[in-house]
Every structure is written in C-alpha cells, then in structure tokens.
Amino acid sequence: MESAKQLNTAEGLFDEEIKICELEIQAIQTAKTERFRENVSQNSDKINFKLFQFERVLNQAPEHKSISLLGKLRGDPTDAKCIANLSKTEFQLAHVEQLGNGKGNKAGDQFEEYFHNDIYRKYWLKFGGAQGDVNKIQCNLMYPASEFLINKYSRQEQYTVRETAEIYAKVTKPMFLDHEDPKKCEWMHNILENKKE
C-alpha cells in the first residue's frame, strides 16, 4: 500500500514535470513566432519572393491578368498562411514608344514567332532588357493571412442582385455593417483618417 502511494506521488510529480516542459516548449515556439513575424514586419522592404512556398491557386482572372496564390513563408515556425496576389502591370508608354525606333531593343529582348499565315504573324515578346522594364509583375503579399482573407481571395460564384433601399435596410446593413468586426474594417479607417494610403 505504501509503495502504491509513492508510485502515485511519483506519477503526479512526473505529470507536473511534463506540463512544465510543454509550457516551456510552447513559450519558446511563441517567442520564435513573434520574432519571425516582427522580423518580417520590420524588414518588409527586404522580403524576397523566394521565401514564398506555393501550396495552391486560390483564384485566377485571365481577363485581369492576375492570379491569387496560397502558401507559407519559408522559415515561419508556425502554420501561418500567406497570400500572394500577382498581376501584370500596364504598359508604360515611354517604354513602348522606344520599341520601333531602334533604341528600345536591349540585350535580353526576345521575339519568337509562333504563328505565320500570309500577312498575319504572332510572336511571343519578351522585352525590357535586363531591367525587365516592360515585363514587371506586381505582387501584393498578405501575411499572416486569416481564413477570412483566404476565402475572400478564393474563387467565388458571382451573382447580380438588384438591391433596393428596403433590402439594404433589412438584409445588407444588419448582416454586413451592424455586426462587422472592427478589425476587418481597420484598413478602411486607416485610409479615411489619413494614416495609410
């Protein structure tokens, strides 16, 4: 009987030691996560797209020449998601005007014909030289990306609804504005209060 009590006491102490170790591990992981995110935030101008680890395509809009990707940032000790919205930029008139005058052809420009029928030809053009002046792609990165943002940038079925003042008052306002989480609208308030662009 005495040895059973000692065994129970030892097991209890062992369980407490395990809980303490688990809490210490959790504290270390939390500190690593906070340091990683703080580093990303403070050095956002130095973030390289090479850190992005692709998982899947959320949405693709060929008519807008854009795509939304879901992934993670390499080195992140958590399972936090990251969204990268890639879109081709518009043509810069100054660069396009140089194409036909001999000044625009730089080292690295490529013109590859892939179709020819009588007077009609089609080419794949890669130009902008080593600087990639014409071939730029804009990347908007959101990290850490919440489930709300992942859903927002995922492919959605779209419908057209004619909203009347009555529908707005009875459905839209109560559902989307009256119960809205203030953090979800923080970006809008930052713009209205001239805190951010």
Q: What is the pLDDT of residues 61-115, one digit of tens each?
A: 988 889 999 999 888 878 889 999 999 887 777 766 666 555 555 545 667 788 8
Q: List, in order, residues 6 or more apart from 115 with CB less than 8 Å away.
A: 121, 122
**What is the DSSP code string of 49-70?**
GGGEEEEEEEEEEGGGTEEEEE
Instruction: Work out the mean pLDDT of the chain and round it to a whole number.
Output: 76
- CA–chain centroid gap for 42, Å, is 17
Q: What stretches of 110-183 show up as alpha helix (H) in DSSP?
A: 147-152, 165-167
Q: What are the backbone dihedrals phi and psi of residue 101, each rounded to the nearest 5 degrees, phi first? A: -105, 10
Token couple for 104: 């625009």
pLDDT, position 59: 95
CA atoms within 13 A on the CB side of 66: 16
Element (H, E) at 24: helix 2-42
Name the nearest CA neighbour of 67 among 159, 161, 140. Answer: 140
User: Residue 113: which H helix or E strand, with range?
Assistant: strand 110-117
The Cα 126–Cα 142 span in angstroms is 29
User: Which whole-number Å values give the CA distances from 178 to 10, 162, 167, 169, in the listed order?
Assistant: 56, 21, 15, 11
pTM over 0.85: no
C-beta of residue 69 within 8 angstroms of C-beta of residue 84: yes
Share of the chain above pLDDT 70, in %: 61
pLDDT tens, residue by residue, 24-51 = 767 666 666 676 667 666 655 556 677 8
